[in-house]
Amino acid sequence: MSEIKYEIIKKIGVLSKSVSGWAKELNLISWNDREPKYDLRDWSADHEKMGKGVTLSKEELSALKELLNTMEL
């Protein structure tokens, strides 16, 4: 299995942290030297390990923002 290359371009924010030190974060990440995308996933404290997540383009993130703004929480 080939290694996944990533570079965190911009750390946007932390949504939550677990007692184990992992954090659910929103970041702007370049995967395998491609155009950076917005990424929401769990990360270990040293950012060496990651959980499954979702990657969004700027347009998809904007659509998600609009959708969330219509929700009553």
- pLDDT value at 9 more than 70: yes
* In a domain? residue 15: yes
Q: Which residue has the tokens 């499954």?
A: 52
pTM over 0.95: no
* In a domain? residue 64: yes
As a whole number of angstroms, the distance between CA 29 and CA 46 comes to 16
pLDDT in tens, 48-73: 999 999 999 999 999 999 999 999 98
Domain count, the chain: 1
**18-42 mean pLDDT:** 97
- pLDDT value at 1 more than 70: no
The confidence score (pLDDT) of residue 4 equals: 87
Q: Which domain holds residue 56?
A: 6-70
Instruction: State how far the alpha carbon of 49 is from the alpha carbons of 38, 46, 59, 61, 70, in Å.
Output: 18, 8, 27, 24, 34
* In a domain? residue 1: no
* In a domain? residue 58: yes
As a whole number of angstroms, the distance between CA 8 and CA 44 comes to 14
Q: What are phi and psi of 69, to 5 degrees?
A: -65, -20
CATH number at residue 36: 2.30.31.70
